[in-house]
Amino acid sequence: MRFAEEIVVEEFLPTVRSMLAEDLRDRGLTQSEVADLLGISQSAVSKYANGEVERNDRFLEDDRVKNLVARLGEGLAEGTMSRVEALVEIEILIRRLEDRDLVAEIHEAQMPELAGHGGDFNVHDPEGDLRTTERVRSSLRRGLTIVESASGFASLIPAVGSNLCECTPDADGIDDVAGVPGRIFDVKGQATIPSDPEFGVSEHVASILLAARRNGSDARAALNVWYDPDIVAALEDAGYAAVEFDAEYDDLDAVVGAALRENPDATVLYHTGGYGIEPIVYLLGDDAESVAKMARGLL
């Protein structure tokens, strides 16, 4: 008797670990760094990277496996993907391969008695909450990498600081929006990101994003920069629709809604300040990466 889980443990995981170890080593990581990322010993990394572990050719040659390994290798090496997200992505692929797919086919070949019955193991939700939130965090990390590496980005940061936020697809509150704890600040001319993205830490920029979404915007991400008429003009010249709203609002939904009714296609919202209120421009987009690129285009 042989279980599908045995095929995963004995054939799929060694194959994927060895492929991932090779990929990370090819990207210039040391054996020690690879071991830390994969949570295995350096001697295991050496065996994986040097082909001393038996691999299953069907997994090795499957395009989905190869594409996943390449994506995980890039994300882990660049720090834009957490170990948790990598684990979730591998787990999701495993469940898909178990569900009338490659793992099920191998299982059936090794257990002929299962012919016509095996492979129906759809026990995990591939769009579960953990995967969704980790994808948002990963997207934010990619956007923050753009912000951090953009020469001169600090010149766009307002006195109150900037924040880059992204929400889950069905966001309905602050806790569904991830951002930078403590905001992004200008420290000696350098955009400084104090810590890894978290959910529920951005109140102001997240509130603007949520208000826009409640009033018809499809935006999933937002970034605030300092206001200058030339910045708004440059964004409009680049093809982005801009609309002004009232800074001294009592009802954020009402003022953002009024602005978006004036221009439903707007992806730039701005106000020119008020008593004790700094003027700000808010950039909206499909994800953190695209919003960060909008800002980088101003430099």
The CA distance from 190 to 157, in Å, is 10
Question: Are the CB atoms for 241 and 185 separated by under 8 Å?
Answer: no
pLDDT single digits (tens) 109-136: 888 765 544 444 333 445 567 678 888 9
**What's this model's pTM, rounded to 2 decimal places?**
0.73
Confidence tier at 104 by pLDDT (50, 70, 90): confident
Helix (H) or strand (E) holding 191: strand 190-192
Each residue of 184-222: pLDDT tens digit? Answer: 999 888 999 999 999 999 999 999 999 999 999 999 999
3 state DSSP class of 225: strand
Give tens-digit pLDDT for 136-147: 999 999 999 999
What is residue 115's predicted lDDT score, i.e. its pLDDT? 58
pLDDT of the residue at 114: 59
Answer with the residue of higher pLDDT: 2 or 159. 159
Please say whether the beta carbons of 157 and 225 come within 8 A.
Answer: yes
Length of the chain, in residues: 299
List b or e across 276-294, with b for residues whose CB sees 16 or more CB atoms inside 10 angstroms.
Answer: eeeebbbbbbebbbbbbbb
Provide the percentage of residues in the chain whose pLDDT is more than 70. Answer: 94
Cβ atoms 268, 282 nearer than 8 A: yes
pLDDT at residue number 128: 64
